[in-house]
Structure formats: structure tokens, C-alpha cells
Amino acid sequence: MKNLLRIYRIMFKYWGSLTVGFIFMIGFAAFSGASITVIVPIMDNIFKVQDKKVELTTYSEFKGELAGEIKSYYSGIDEDTSLLKIDTHKPVLEILNRVMNRTDSYLLLKIISSLTVILFILKNAFFYGNKVMFTNLRGKTVKDIRNLMFENYTRQTIAFFNQNRAGDSLVRMVNDVEQVSNGFFIPVFSIFKQTGLVLVYLFMAILINWKLLLISIIVLPIFTICINYLGKKIKKYARRVQGQFSDMFSSIEEALNSMKIVKAFSKEEKEINKIKRINTKHYRFWRKAEIYAAINFPLSEINATTTGVIMILIGGKMVLDPNIGFTFGQFFLFASAVFSLLHPIKDIAKSYSNIQKARVSLERISWVLDLEPEIIEKQNPVEINEFNASIELKNVSFAYEDKKVLNDISLEIKKGEKIALVGGSGSGKTTLVNLLPRLYDIKEGDILIDGVPIRDLKISSLRKLFGIVTQESILFSDSVYNNILYGSHRDVTLEEVKKAAEIAHAAEFIEDLPDGYDTVLHSRGSNFSGGQKQRLCIARAIIGDPPILIFDEATSALDTESEKKVQMAIEEATQNRTVVMIAHRLSTILSSDRIVVMDKGEIISVGSHKELLATCSRYQHLYNLQFSQEHAPEEKK
């Protein structure tokens, strides 16, 4: 219910389209009803030629007579008579009938034919207007839902994206929203419209003969129970279908992104079988949902036919009995009203099953909209625009869920200092640097920047202080220029982009590209080498001129040649900046002011290269390990 209300709330924002759409809908329903009433005079006044006394042979005579009689009727009614009562107006029909009986049949046929055309034009104009308004409403609501979902996704922490597969998010944003658009909004609007029609036709049928109506629709409750049962089944399988869809998207996405590894290990068959398995499951659930939905149509037909047959049998008998006074024209109108009623009922049943399917998607969309961001900005946060003194970590501990990764870390990084973090894999270096710009929140302790706890700072202003280069070069399928520009929070000139590229030693290869800065990167930058991509990442990190730079194993994925170039880029980029660098090759951090040695989530030693070499056995071990690796071939020579 909450999910429905939320969607309606979004929809009600567009109350203009909604109101106008409703007005059109009422017009459509009214003219649909009116357009079938023309049957009565055709049956009863035109083709029934017995006891007809023709007095009116021209349109003006007909019009004059009708207007005159109606006028004299209304001027003759009591002042106390309420004009709001239907009974007050009922005699108008008798007047109409009387006047039509005195009118030439062919003239009447022409009048009624013209009237029919006008009524159908009006009915369809309202239908079209309604469709346009509700299409606007649906489009705008769906657009808002997608925007809200994406906004909420971007508010989530990295931890969320670690846990939730991208495929699932994609399916929710694309397919589930589409399901809601087609399977929820269209049916809901259709139910509105069909209910309008049902009411009009019901009203007509009740006016003509309510008893006959009650007998005719005797099978309707059974039909309703069946439809309800079907709805539940459909919902059950729709939920499974969407679940499989998420699995399928995630697996496809993963396989396509890892095609190099899939091929290198000849695992095409394995991947194909995995997708086949998911696809088969998806097919089974989808089939079940569709098969249950397909029962709807025959069921509706049986309901319609039974209702129709009962009505014809009983109604027909009534017409045949002259004592009852049920004319053929009235019966025909009644039958038309009831048959016209059955179509919207069928439509409502179909819409109901579609809505059941779409409600599953609605739940899945609501799940996204209800996600609470884990990293929350304080109310009235402190805005920080510069970094003046130091970053302080005080007794910081951190755990991924219940896995403790950092334990009681205390460290002060002064402005302008170059700090290197070293330690074995899994010792918590990356986690530590991720805590600084609040990509994750600390569990215990405090991190202060210039004396202010980072949780009191405006998150965007905190993050603007950092430029980050990670091991993976994550770039967008956009031009080189735009990729570098991405790191800036203000408009920058081409000159500034070029300057950043020069510092990052990227200008030298960018200028050799056929389109220079306009060269577009392929997906995941596959048309650039690892070293080139990393230099673009460095240019992106420094274009916003952040006072603090973080390098998380920025060179470890590169070959020695590229590493040298990137190292030069890093050296230039880090001048006059505070730097926290994680490096797997110790040779790249020898010039750091201080080296922090980490092991199993703790800082075990801090000092310069020389100091650590003399005092820290863990550092000595790391150093010896690399020294022997790096120099062994040379020494052999």
C-alpha cells in the first residue's frame, strides 16, 4: 500500500494532466453511453411504421416542435420540483418519443445518422484527449521514478555497490520501471476509464430494467473470485521472473566484462551454460505467469457469453410478452448496454492481472527508493574549502560488517607531508585511505581535518579536498578532454586541461592522437595502454587542484616502462601537495617523508626509509623481498 501511495504521490504532482485526463475520460464515458442510445429511435420510431402519424416533414418543423414542447414542459413544472432529480427530466424522453413518432421516418433517419456521427466524433475526441493526457502523466511519472531511483543509488555507499550486483540495479531501473509503466499505469488508467464506462452502462441498464440486469449478471461473482485467484498466482510467478531477470543481467554483465578471462581460460561453454540455466528458469516462471494470465481471456468470454445468453433468454421472453410493455427498442438498448458493459469488465479483469504482475516490480522499485544512505551528512555541516594544517586519525577502528579490518589506528599527516603506506596484502591500507574522504564511515575513533571531525563536514566539500588515483584506471567512454575535466568542480579552460595533462605526463601521448583531446575512449578505455590510462587518471585527479592526493597502488598494474612514466607523473603531480600513497614497490616511495608500516590492520611502525630499515623487521622483510626480486637478474649479469 505504501508503495502504491508513493507512486500516486509522484503522479499527483502532475495534477493538471490528471484532472484534464479525467475530464476527457468522463466525456468519453458519457458520449459512449449516448452513442448507443440512438438505437432506440432507430428501432422504435423509424422502422416501426405502424400507427405513425406523420406531421413533421422538415428539420425546422421537427426542431421547432421539439423545442416548443420541451419549453412548455419545463415552464409548466412546479416551482418546488427539484431539477436535480432524474424523474423530473424523464418526461423529456416521452416528449422526444412523441415528436419522433410524428416525424417523417426518412427525415428522422437523417437526423439520427448525423447525430450518431457527431456523437462518435465527440466520443473519440474525448478518447484521444484522455489518451494524450494520461500518456503525459505516465511518461512524467516514470521519468521521475527513474530519476529518483538513480539519485538514491548514487547516495549509497561503496559498500552497497560491493554487495549488490550492477545487473540487479540495472533491471530494477530499466525493466522494473518499464513493467510498472506498461503493466501498472496503463491498466490503472484503463481501469479508471473502464469503470467510467461500466458506471454509464450500468446506469442505463438499471434505468431500463434493473431486475433483468441483476439476473443477467448472476455469474459475475464467480468470475470475480476466479480472477482474484489468478491474480495471486500471476504475482507469485512475476516475482520469480524479475528475480531471474536480475540474475540474468548480472551474469551477462559479468561475463561480457570479463570476456578476456573467459576466453583465456576457454570458459565460453561454462558461461553459456550458466546463462542457459538462468534463462531456462526465467522461461519457466515467465511461462507460468503468462499461462495464468492467459486464462483471463477465456474466462472473461465465458462470463460474457453466459451473461449474454441469460439476458437474451429472459429479456427476449419479456419482449415477446405484450403485457409487460418492454419494447424491442428498449430491449435492444438494454442488450447493447449490457454487452458494452462486458467489454470494460473484461478489460478490468485483464488490467487487474497486469497490475498484479507489475506490483512485484513496484515492490522492487520501492526497495530502491527506500534505501537509506549509510553515510549521512550532518545537519548544518561545516563547509571546508581549504586544507591548512593536518589530517589526524585518532584510535580509528573499522570493520566490513563484522570483519574487523583496522584496529586502533592513530596517525597524524601534516600539510605538505608525503606519507607512504606499506604492508602485506590485506593489511588494511586501501581501507584506511578510503576512510579519509568518507567513502566508508569509521566505526570507532575519530578522523579530523584541521581539527574538525570529518563527519561534521559537508561531504562534497570534504571530497573536493582529495584527488584519488586507484590501481584500476576507471575512465568513461567519453573524450580525453571530458575525462580529465571530470575531476574539476568548476568550469575549466582547455589550457587548464592541457596543463594538468602536462603535469601528468599525458600531454605527450594525447597530442599524438589523431583527434588529440577529442579522442574518444572505448569502453573501459580499451584503446589506451595501462600507463596512458593511469596518466589520464592522474591528470583528472589534479585538474581540480585538490590539496591532498591519494595514490592507491597507482603503478602496480603497469609494466616497468609504463610505471616509470607514471612515476614521473606522480612526482610532478605531488609537488606542493599532501600525499598519501600506497605503493607495492618500495622503490617508488623511498623519497616519502614518512613511511607507515601496516600489518593485520594495525600500524606497527612509522619512520623514514633509513630508520625503518634499521628498526622495523617487517619493513626489512618487505624490503629484502623486493630488493632480491628487483635486483637479482642484474646481479647475475
Q: For residue 598, count CB atoms less than 10 angstroms from its CB and return exposed for 0-12, middle for 13-18, buried for 19 or more.
A: buried
Give the one residue of 209, 351, 427, 592 binding ligand ADP; rule: CB under 6 A: 427
Binding piece for ligand ADP, criterion CB under 6 A, among 308-316, 336-344, 388-396, 398-406: 398-406
Q: How many amino acids of this chain bind ligand ADP (CB under 6 A)?
A: 12
Give the one residue of 156, 194, 351, 431 binding ligand ADP; rule: CB under 6 A: 431
- Distance between terminal CA atoms of the chain? 77
DSSP assignments along 266-285, one per residue: T-HHHHHHHHHHHHHHHHHH
Rank residues 50 and 425 by Cβ distance to ligand ADP and give the closer one: 425
Residue 528 region, left (φ>0) first, then alpha (ψ -120 to 50), else beta? beta
Does residue 636 belong to the site contacting ligand ADP (CB under 6 A)?
no
Rank residues 372 and 402 by Cβ distance to ligand ADP and give the closer one: 402
User: CA-to-CA distance for 288 and 311, rounded, in angstroms?
Assistant: 35
Contacting residues for 308 by C-beta, under 8 A, at least 6 apart: 335, 338, 339, 342
User: CA-to-CA distance for 544 and 152, rounded, in angstroms?
Assistant: 26
Residues 543-582 close enough to bind ligand ADP by CB under 6 A: none
Does residue 60 belong to the site contacting ligand ADP (CB under 6 A)?
no
Rank residues 157 and 390 by Cβ distance to ligand ADP and give the closer one: 157
Binding piece for ligand ADP, criterion CB under 6 A, among 30-38, 216-224, 238-246, 426-434: 426-434
Give the one residue of 426, 477, 561, 591 binding ligand ADP; rule: CB under 6 A: 426
Does residue 428 belong to the site contacting ligand ADP (CB under 6 A)?
yes
Does residue 405 belong to the site contacting ligand ADP (CB under 6 A)?
yes
Give the one residue of 53, 85, 403, 610 binding ligand ADP; rule: CB under 6 A: 403
Report in angstroms how near the CB of residue 431 gets to ligand ADP at its nearest: 3
Enumerate the β-bridge partners of residue 605. 597
Report in angstroms how near the CB of residue 163 gets to ligand ADP at its nearest: 8
Centroid of chain to Cα 266 = 37
Give the one residue of 21, 344, 423, 467 binding ligand ADP; rule: CB under 6 A: 423
Binding piece for ligand ADP, criterion CB under 6 A, among 9-17, 243-251, 389-397, 428-436: 428-436
User: CA-to-CA distance for 574 and 597, rounded, in angstroms?
Assistant: 21
Report in angstroms how near the CB of residue 414 gets to ligand ADP at its nearest: 23
Cβ of 457: how many Cβ atoms within 10 Å?
Answer: 22
User: CA-to-CA distance for 224 and 236, rounded, in angstroms?
Assistant: 19
Give the one residue of 45, 353, 430, 574 binding ligand ADP; rule: CB under 6 A: 430
Rank residues 409 and 504 by Cβ distance to ligand ADP and give the closer one: 409
CB 422 within 8 A of CB 620: no
Q: What is the DSSP letter of 580?
A: E
Does residue 425 belong to the site contacting ligand ADP (CB under 6 A)?
yes
Rank residues 361 and 431 by Cβ distance to ligand ADP and give the closer one: 431
SS3 445: strand
Does residue 156 belong to the site contacting ligand ADP (CB under 6 A)?
no
Cβ of 32: how many Cβ atoms within 10 Å?
Answer: 23
Give the one residue of 429, 464, 505, 577 binding ligand ADP; rule: CB under 6 A: 429
CA dihedral 19, 24, 25, 31 (to 10 degrees): 150
Rank residues 431 and 483 by Cβ distance to ligand ADP and give the closer one: 431
Q: For residue 157, count CB atoms less than 10 angstroms from its CB and return exposed for 0-12, middle for 13-18, buried for 19 or more.
A: middle
Rank residues 196 and 601 by Cβ distance to ligand ADP and give the closer one: 601
Report in angstroms how near the CB of residue 401 gets to ligand ADP at its nearest: 7
- Could you tell me which of 158, 184, 152 has the C-alpha nearest to residue 366? 152
Pairing of strands 452-453, 444-449: antiparallel
Rank residues 342 and 406 by Cβ distance to ligand ADP and give the closer one: 406
Does residue 162 belong to the site contacting ligand ADP (CB under 6 A)?
yes
Q: What are phi and psi of 472, to 5 degrees?
A: -80, 130
Rank residues 310 and 399 by Cβ distance to ligand ADP and give the closer one: 399
Rank residues 242 and 431 by Cβ distance to ligand ADP and give the closer one: 431
User: Residues interacting with ligand ADP, by CB under 6 A?
Assistant: 162, 400, 403, 405, 423, 425-431
